[in-house]
Structure 1
Amino acid sequence: MFRKSFLVLSIALLGNYPLLAQRVLPQFQPYFKEAGFEGSFSLYDLNKKEYATTDKADFIKATSPASTFKVPNTFIALETGAVRDKMEVIKWDGTPKRMKIWERDYYLALAYKNSAFWFYQEIAKRVGEEKYHDYLKALSYGNEDISGGLTLFWLGSSLKISPKNQLEVLQKIQAETAPFSARTYRIGKEIMVEEKTDTYTLRAKTGWADTKPTHVGWYVGYVETKGNVYFFATRLYQPDARQSDRFGSQRKEITRKILGDLGVL
């Protein structure tokens, strides 16, 4: 439960959302220090209509979305017909990839799960710049900048997004207010499911931008419970010179600790 003594301040949010309260959650900041990383956790509570964050400056700071862009990109791919459905196979061209797991034929559902970047690069070629401009504008997705290249703009290149904006985009997807068909929403939301129990459904995506001088790691998504929906965006930073095997895993571990403390998971 949130402590009543938290600092509450009003902020004007982007898009059509009204003036809402942002709560600061300092009690969760030690989780980042204990893990050895800088970063923040941000939350939107649908019932309370409240945004909360461990770091109000980081809440509005924009960085590369990296593979978290696969969330809207999956819906865009389905809606535009870049892929017919979640099982359409795109053949691997046989060239070596950074990860061995990517060296195989892929279909959309598996490519999302394994974050197969080359699959989504092929999708980008099929979607094209004009449609990306249209959908990024419709979603109010970050700075909407794809100038970094059709197959690279979300990979540490020109596209930038803040935790606040990640939460806003996720709300549009969950509420089905973005310009996608019912079929696209049904398939896209199925692909996003990471965990399902008797009490909640977790839909999420990780991301890792190996930018210099600081790597950026994301974990974003939302948890649907019987009585509420909680949207989250966690972001970690790691100096390029200080590689850590724990950087990838801590994105989820810190998030799950906080969601557990809040009684969401």
Structure 2
Amino acid sequence: MRRTSVRPARLARYAWLAAVVLLGGCSFNNVDSADYLKPYFDSAGVKGCFALYDNGRNEFTIYNRDRYLERFPPGGTFNILTGLLGLERGKVFDEAKTGAGGPSLTVALRGDSTAYFQEVVRQLGRDTVVNRIKAVSYGNMDTEATVDSLWLKPGLSISPDEQLGFVKSLFFKQLHFQTRTQQVMQTVLEREKTPNYTLAWDEAYARDSAGRPVGWAMGWIEERNHPYFFVLNIDGASGAEALLRKILTQQGFFKGVK
């Protein structure tokens, strides 16, 4: 694995990554330029980027750092923020339904239910949603679209770097939400829990302003009580989960020995 440092002139572009490194008192020599991951993207027939943050060692693995810093439409990954707001304001509950026969928050999030989350943001109201987007500095904080289409139309965008910072803050309950709210969302995101690992993540897709597909998979994996945070961004309308699993396997996960 080849480790490289980032030139000082580019420091300002590494918003969250730079903050973590500076807080840890470390240099950018802890960034692994993971060119060896390119065959995985080529095999899947997509372009994209991947980043993994080892919290215990303060080490980053980043494939395609230029794309890692670009902003893209969040698509259904924005539903995490909506769900947090809904939980906080009593619009949704951890196990309750939003209406007669409606899905639970867990089912709605995993199914990327647009109708469910549109109804939640309508109940929350524009001011509540917009203010929280700004409070958590969500991406470019573009809120020009109607409140129930903020994540569906061009405008609001977020970088893989910012997404990684968002899920890390959620894991450590550092977002601008009550502790219980963040605990519930952590449970909602947990998809696999085995003696060897716990995998929590969200997968979603969107279209950019030119109509090109954008795919996301982001979250964390714990092994031996040690969290690792990841984000995958691709230019495809499907396949993020399969690619994510191949990369995490290549990184040595799922065995409980990390």
State the TM-score, normalizing by the size of structure 1: 0.84
Alignment deviations for residues 150-185 of structure 1 (CA, whole Å, 9 cap, x no partner): 011112432100110000011110000112222212
Q: Which of 41, 63, 67 lines up with 1:58 in the alignment?
A: 67
Most deviating of 199-208 and 129-138: 129-138
Relative to structure 1, the CA distance from residue 166 to residue 116 in structure 2 (aligned partners, 3 Å threshold; closer, same or farther) is same
In the other structure, the counterpart of 2:240 is 251
In the other structure, the counterpart of 1:131 is 128
Q: Which of 36, 39, 42 lines up with 1:27 in the alignment?
A: 36
Relative to structure 1, the CA distance from residue 55 to residue 139 in structure 2 (aligned partners, 3 Å threshold; closer, same or farther) is same
Relative to structure 1, the CA distance from residue 160 to residue 193 in structure 2 (aligned partners, 3 Å threshold; closer, same or farther) is same
The CA distance in 1 between the partners of 2:52 and 2:134, in whole Å, is 23
In the other structure, the counterpart of 2:113 is 116
In the other structure, the counterpart of 2:232 is 234
Structure 1 position 257, deviation (Å)? 1.1
In the other structure, the counterpart of 1:82 is 91
SS at match of 2:91: coil
Structure 1 position 224, deviation (Å)? 1.6
Q: Which of 137, 143, 147 lines up with 2:144 in the alignment?
A: 147
Structure 1 position 18, deviation (Å)? 4.2
Output the amino acid matched with 2:88: E
Most deviating of 210-219 and 195-204: 210-219
List 4+ stretches of structure 1 deviating above 6 A: none
Most deviating of 7-16 and 186-195: 7-16
Output the amino acid matched with 2:66: A
Output the amino acid matched with 1:133: V
| Paired residues of 2:110 and 2:203 also in contact (CA < 8 A) | no
SS at match of 1:106: coil
In the other structure, the counterpart of 1:218 is 216
Output the amino acid matched with 2:20: Y
| Paired residues of 2:73 and 2:158 also in contact (CA < 8 A) | yes
Structure 1 position 123, deviation (Å)? 0.5
| Paired residues of 2:21 and 2:58 also in contact (CA < 8 A) | no
SS at match of 1:29: helix
| RMSD value, Cα | 1.9
The CA distance in 2 between the partners of 1:220 and 1:148, in whole Å, is 25
2:20 aligned with 1:17: yes
2:140 aligned with 1:175: no
Output the amino acid matched with 1:14: A
In the other structure, the counterpart of 1:158 is 155
SS at match of 1:89: coil
SS at match of 1:194: strand
The CA distance in 1 between the partners of 2:172 and 2:4, in whole Å, is 29
Relative to structure 1, the CA distance from residue 149 to residue 51 in structure 2 (aligned partners, 3 Å threshold; closer, same or farther) is farther
| Paired residues of 1:200 and 1:224 also in contact (CA < 8 A) | yes
Structure 1, gaps ≥5 residues long: 92-103, 239-246
State the TM-score, normalizing by the size of structure 2: 0.86
Structure 1 position 84, deviation (Å)? 3.9
Alignment deviations for residues 38-69 of structure 1 (CA, whole Å, 9 cap, x no partner): 11111111112233211010010001010111
- Structure with the higher helix share, 1 or 2: 2
Most deviating of 210-219 and 110-119: 210-219
2:103 aligned with 1:106: yes
Output the amino acid matched with 1:69: F
Structure 1 position 228, deviation (Å)? 1.8
| Paired residues of 2:52 and 2:61 also in contact (CA < 8 A) | yes
Alignment deviations for residues 6-55 of structure 1 (CA, whole Å, 9 cap, x no partner): 32326354365343633310000111111111111111111122332110
Identity of aligned residues (%): 27
In the other structure, the counterpart of 1:205 is 202
The CA distance in 1 between the partners of 2:37 and 2:217, in whole Å, is 16
